[in-house]
Amino acid sequence: MPDKIVQDADDSLIIEAIEENFCTFGTTQLGRWPRIEVYDEPYLLWFISDVPAPSFNINLRARLSPDNVDHIIARQQAVYAERNLPLLWWVNPSSTPPEIGRHLISAGFVHHGELTGMAMNLNQLVDQASSVDLIIEPAEGTAAQQNFALTLCQAFDTPQALVEPMIEQALAMDYSPGGPLVNYMGFLDGQLVATSSIYIDAGVAGLYNISTLPEFRGRGFGTAVSLTALSEAKKRGCRFAVLQSSAMAVSVYRRLGFKTYCYFHEYLWPKPAQDK
């Protein structure tokens, strides 16, 4: 994907941008954390850490052939097994061979989930006054970024053992002024209750980290922080915003103007104990 703003609404270009924005977010942001190693190979992009959790040990963007797919899968399993780590393998829309999911299952992986790749034309984003009493501002400085990450963990009910690594990883990212990544915080009566992030790369703006603390959901806060991030992307000249949505959030993003373009599938190894 050329490093320029995507202007064409061609489906194939949008799907490519959805994939590439996610991949570059991993290499340029997650990869800044010293506890993660990034291997950007022509046929596979993979991350391995010292944290025994799937979200820190990921393979994606596979460009394999029927002749080498089983060999590479076995190689990756051996690498992660040597460090006693799980492996979460993302099958992107463009992953090859097309039947790679079947190969992963044959190798002992279990299908772990599906995410919907979505995009919206920011020219259709209508400026609107917020109807919620939420003060939204960018996270600036170490303390703000730490509070942002902690709130994100609380909203997603992150296991306690992973909270510290999540905060460490978040603090390692690049928040330079005018840079591609901006985190937003939504405050209600002085309490941080909602978050969002925008990451501009691969010609589009990726929307990430949309969260609201459980006790404040259903009040439009997630929509408000999303619109703030999308408005910033539009101001910076982006025509399209992209994201990967869980099944439960698809309808929310559709109301914002996002459309479905593709799907991502997650495969986990080794199988969770209850699946063995």
Residue 2 lies in a domain: no
* pLDDT value at 2 more than 50: no
Dihedrals phi, psi of 191, to nearest 5 degrees: -100, 135
Residue 3's pLDDT band, with cuts at 50, 70 and 90, is very low
Residue 207 sits in a domain whose CATH number is 3.40.630.30
Residue 276's pLDDT band, with cuts at 50, 70 and 90, is low
Both 257 and 271 in a single domain? no
Both 155 and 67 in a single domain? no
DSSP string, 129-189: ---S--EEEE--SHHHHHHHHHHHHHHTT--HHHHHHHHHHHHTS---TT-SEEEEEEEET
Both 56 and 162 in a single domain? no
**pLDDT (mean) for 215-220:** 94
How many separate domains does the chain show?
Answer: 2
**pLDDT (mean) for 201-208:** 94
Both 230 and 138 in a single domain? yes
Instruction: Give residue 270's domain range.
Output: 11-116+264-275
Both 269 and 178 in a single domain? no
Both 129 and 225 in a single domain? yes
**pLDDT (mean) for 220-246:** 95
* pLDDT value at 26 more than 60: yes
Residue 126's pLDDT band, with cuts at 50, 70 and 90, is confident
Dihedrals phi, psi of 225, to nearest 5 degrees: -70, -30
